[in-house]
Amino acid sequence: MTTLVTGGAGFIGSHLVDYVLAETADDVIVFDDFSTGRSGNLDHLDDDRVQVREGDVRDAESVRAAVEDATVVYHLAAAVGVQNVVENPLSSLRTNLAGTENVLDAAAETGTPTFVASSSEVYGKSPDVPFSEDDDRVIGPTSTTRWGYATAKAADEFLALAYHEEVDLPVVVGRFFNIVGPRQSGRYGMVIPTFVEQALAGDPLTVYGDGTQTRSFTHVEDAVRAVYELTNTTSAHGDVFNVGEPEPTSINDLARRVVDLTGSDAEITHVPFEEVYGPDFEEPDRREPDVTKLRETIGWAPEADLDRILRDVIEARSEREVRIDA
């Protein structure tokens, strides 16, 4: 058996590689163009079961060659991060649309079970929380760049479900809600690694907006376990699932907890969204998943609380700084 993980050098992808190696006897193909993924995320692996292939999911032939060698596909390669999407809209759209179509095309040729990663962004700015998978979506205008990402991810879902309906591809879609943990970079606007880095350095924690917006944060270890179990549950095929821990936290409270847990004396400051992302940027007030369907399908849902997530991120970041200083 061979598992293919597109985006396998990324934050979530590398943790999924770890999970597959620990829980199965599969060989693993990591397919990544290293645009946002890092070779350092794989440095801890000393396993002849892992093969790394550098390639772009927008290259149909490279994708087809990788899928042909796999017995299961986890498609996690994507343009990630609000900042990245806003600054590079064309590249983000091409990666998220063409890349997913290439993976699904190749998987359909061989009937290979496939997981497609989606995002809570598809719910847009709907005020009806918690979000259930069949809820209506509220998306802003095409003139606002961030909604291109939400639209592309929704199109990925439509594609996946169409492949299941028309050619019986065993595919499942997971909508990720703020997956967090060790190895995540703050480079593209991810809030927890950014706050932790700022707190450990004694720099002000920069909260965008007034900080009252709430988010639900999910430990990456819970997320990859859910991804694996969904993909290997036949009744989940042809369906969409929220993958998240449902307890919401305001960004103000998140900043305070990071300061407390790091023992930092850093201040907390607020910066208007428009100063960072431009005048047309829109930020939803609340994001919270309903995980009833996930729990009913695989028997559990992510459960690591925010303090555990923060402690793990802080510990990993502190250990990294020790290694660099040494």
**H or E stretch including 58?**
none
How much is the pTM?
0.94
pLDDT, one tens digit per residue, over 244-265 is 999 999 999 999 999 999 999 9
In the block, tokens 């407390």 appear at 260
Across residues 256-276, what is the average pLDDT? 94
pLDDT at 326: 38
Catalytic residue among 149, 188, 228, 277: 149
pLDDT greater than 80 at residue 280: no
pLDDT, one tens digit per residue, over 208-244 is 999 999 999 999 999 999 999 999 999 999 999 999 9
Residue type, 106: A
Whole-angstrom Cα distance, residue 129 to residue 220? 22
Write the CATH number of the domain with boundaries 2-181+218-246+287-304: 3.40.50.720
Burial (0-12, 13-18, 19+ Cβ within 10 Å), 128: exposed
pLDDT at 321: 56
Sorted by where each begins, the domain ranges of the chain are: 2-181+218-246+287-304
Question: With bands split at pLDDT 50, 70 and 90, how would you rate the model's confidence at 322?
Answer: very low
Q: What is the DSSP string of 111-137?
A: T--EEEEEEGGGGBT----SB-TTS--
pLDDT, one tens digit per residue, over 101-156 is 999 999 999 999 999 999 999 999 999 999 999 999 999 999 888 899 999 999 99
- The reply to whether 188 belongs to the active site is no
pLDDT at 309: 96
**H or E stretch including 44?**
none
Across residues 79-92, what is the average pLDDT? 80
